[in-house]
A and B are shown apart, each in its own frame.
Chain A
């Protein structure tokens, strides 16, 4: 059963009513089909209205939906022969990140992504998709391996952030993230990054230095969670809804800010409604991306990636007359 979200309540009501009428028609000998048809038309209209006017906060809810497809859901649907490779060869295997080798319609690739769980048990195993340093180091190991064997790299981004814990700090969470940013910048094979859920800060970016960056329509990508931003800026985490708007974290916002390349459309109601269809939408964009990037050689790929990130940000200059000092 797919959990309903707050803004979907009117739809739930209407669907229930339609269901009731249908049941009633079966038992009682009354023809309500005209009535049902009318309601169904209204439902369709309401659906269109609601899903076409999602607020940033609605999208945050969809991005966090417990049943939202995860990295492994997409790997299963987009690739064949996936072989998961474990461990960072230094400390351990962090199951908050999965990675391995696979075929993408015949093409050998390396796939890496944050992995969260859909229930408590799996979330504990996956640490809610919040990696420790060894997770990032595993990812980097696999990327270097992909570079050695000239395989493109596909990264799925889906994390609340890198794990804030004592052990993570001791083992160098900062260094692990920084190292990935640094090394990814120099990788000589194509890197395509796709934000499929939450893109939480440095913990997301550590898999995000790609030649192309795409986002699912209802995913988010931000420097801090709306709750965190509200707590810091207004000392009140309950203002998260407002922060979600102010912080500009939706796919459309990021496209406007020049951070991402493409917005991947989601199935109506969100990716969790139909993972198979959603995978097909991703497939279209991923294929196009790879086709473009595979035409570039290593040096061009590194340069393209450099220029891409170099232009991110907005600055201005003081007029000559009022320069300080």
Chain B
């Protein structure tokens, strides 16, 4: 047809073929969800997963966190072999656990153990959101409780990094009860004068924020971390009111008096060392001694 000669052919953006899409091996590059810049994952990891361009704090795997804070070779893991069961007989739960175990290289959503930070001995628990969104079921509750109990027995400070979507649905009310269990352990620890530092990382919500995460003698958070009890969508549906952009961010919580400080990941280790140093048992010799 004559008409066709005058009609411009539509131009389509070339879509990469299925094969081409996989040419960049997964994980070599990482795109920052905040500034959309693409960077080498290796460089990002070297920078403690803080975006090189905008400072966004990417989620940090538990083992990387431990390596970034504790003195080389000092970490000794607790209860590494504890795994979840399916107490409610929840359909598909066991399969999901197995899948996450394979994907994350973790047995559960928290790693606990003891080690030293600049020589200060401590018990540490680090949650990892790559396992079931860091949700708390029986194992997470039990591992944290045992870690607190060991900190109490050994009179060591207890440090936790939280990252969790909340209680784990698939274990129902048993997940809920872990909130009470961990909080009770912390109460005992606190009564004995134990030091508990909580560092909330992205995201810390629901049953985890409403239990141990909020119970630190010092409650810190990483910049931009989402922290809250109820989900933003739930709140919007219930109250039908405009929520501020920074709603439930670490900065929002700081403004409303819910946190001691928001600390950049690059300054975290030094800050923790200061806190640990200030709480050393016995104290040093000085002019205040008679």
Taking Cβ atoms with an 8 Å cutoff, the residues of A that contact B are 162-166, 168-175, 177-179, 181-183, 185-186, 201-202, 205-206, 208-209, 221-224, 229, 232-233, 246-249, 253-254, 257, 259, 305-306, 309-310, 312-318, 320, 323-325
Contact = CB atoms under 8 A, between A and B. Distances in A.
Classify the secondary structure of B's interface with A. helix
Given A223-B173, A254-B173, A323-B81, A166 B243 contact: yes
Contacts of B167: 201-202, 223-224
A257 B174 contact: yes
A208 B179 CA distance: 11
Interface stretch (B13-21, B26-34, B52-60, B233-241): B233-241
A159 B174 CA distance: 18
B289 interface: no
A325 B77 CA distance: 11
Interface in B154-174: 167, 169, 171-174
A320 to B, nearest CB: 8
A318 B214 contact: no
A315 B136 CA distance: 12
Interface in B42-94: 80-85, 87-88, 90-91
Contacts of A182: 183-184, 186-187, 190, 215
Given A166-B243, A171-B256, A246-B91, A318 B83 contact: yes
Interface string B193-233: 00000000000001101111111000000000001111100
Nearest to B107: A324
Contact of B176 (A164, A174, A178, A223): A223
B155 to A, nearest CB: 19
A185 B235 contact: no
A315 B84 contact: yes
B100 interface: no
Contacts of B138: 312-315
Contacts of B235: 164-166, 169
B142 A183 contact: no
A249 B101 contact: no
B81 A317 contact: yes
Contact of B83 (A179, A305, A317): A317
Contact of B179 (A172, A175, A181): A181
B153 to A, nearest CB: 15
B176 A202 contact: yes
Interface string B144-158: 010000000000000
Contacts of A320: 81
A222 B138 CA distance: 15
Nearest to B255: A170
Contacts of A323: 80-81
A178 B210 contact: yes
B40 interface: no
B228 A313 contact: no
B247 A169 contact: yes
Nearest to A202: B210
Contact of A174 (B81, B87, B180, B209): B209
B226 to A, nearest CB: 11
Contacts of B83: 315-318
B141 interface: yes
Contact of B101 (A166, A185, A324): A324
Contact of A178 (B177, B185, B214, B256): B214
Given A175-B214, A254-B173, A324 B80 contact: yes
Nearest to A319: B81
Contact of A315 (B85, B90, B256): B85
B247 A185 contact: no
Contacts of B248: 169
B184 A248 contact: no
A209 B176 CA distance: 11
A205 B180 contact: yes
B210 A313 contact: no
User: For A206, A249, A259, A312, which residue has the most chain B Cβ atoms within 10 angstroms?
Assistant: A312
B173 A169 contact: no
A157 B81 CA distance: 37
A185 B241 CA distance: 36
A173 B206 CA distance: 10
B178 interface: yes
Nearest to B139: A315
B251 to A, nearest CB: 13
Contact of B142 (A185, A208, A315): A315
A228 to B, nearest CB: 8
25 contacts: A162-B230, A164-B234, A165-B239, A168-B230, A169-B228, A173-B230, A175-B214, A178-B209, A178-B210, A179-B214, A179-B215, A183-B187, A201-B167, A202-B179, A205-B180, A222-B172, A223-B169, A223-B173, A223-B207, A248-B88, A248-B172, A312-B174, A316-B85, A318-B107, A324-B106
